[in-house]
Amino acid sequence: MDRRGQLVRMFVLFHVVLGATLLVGSVLTAWSGGHGDVHVRLLGAVEGIGAVLFLLPGTLRPGAWLLLLTIGVALALHLAMGQWRGDLLVYASGVAFVAVHGPAYGRVFRPAD
């Protein structure tokens, strides 16, 4: 396998792992909801929708925007409670990175140009 093919495959893997991780985290947040806080449940549900959209090639960018919005809100809420969540910045950076480059699913098995 050539180096470009490896890069594309790793990019797809990163995209899928990031999206799946955000989806699982959002479902857990929506399900547990900060001990019954309806606002936290709602934020988790919206983040879950964003994660699903982020995983689909045709809706990757709208999903990314939704994820960035919810991650930003979550970061602001945690900071207001005096909690530093650097992992949220890592998630936001990864989402922005994938959004800028777009979906690579169709390029995985395409021969190098």
Asked if residue 112 is part of any domain, the answer here is no
Q: Is residue 75 assigned to a domain?
A: yes
pLDDT of residue 35: 64
**pTM for the structure as a whole:** 0.87
Please report whether residue 113 resides in a domain. no
pLDDT at position 106 = 66
Domains in the chain, number: 1
Structural domain span for residue 30:
3-107
User: Sign of torsion, CA 22 23 29 32?
Assistant: negative
The 10s digit of each residue's pLDDT in 43-94 is 999 999 999 999 999 999 999 999 999 999 999 999 999 999 999 999 999 9
**∠ at Cα 84 (60, 46), nearest 5°?**
30
pLDDT over threshold 50, residue 113: no
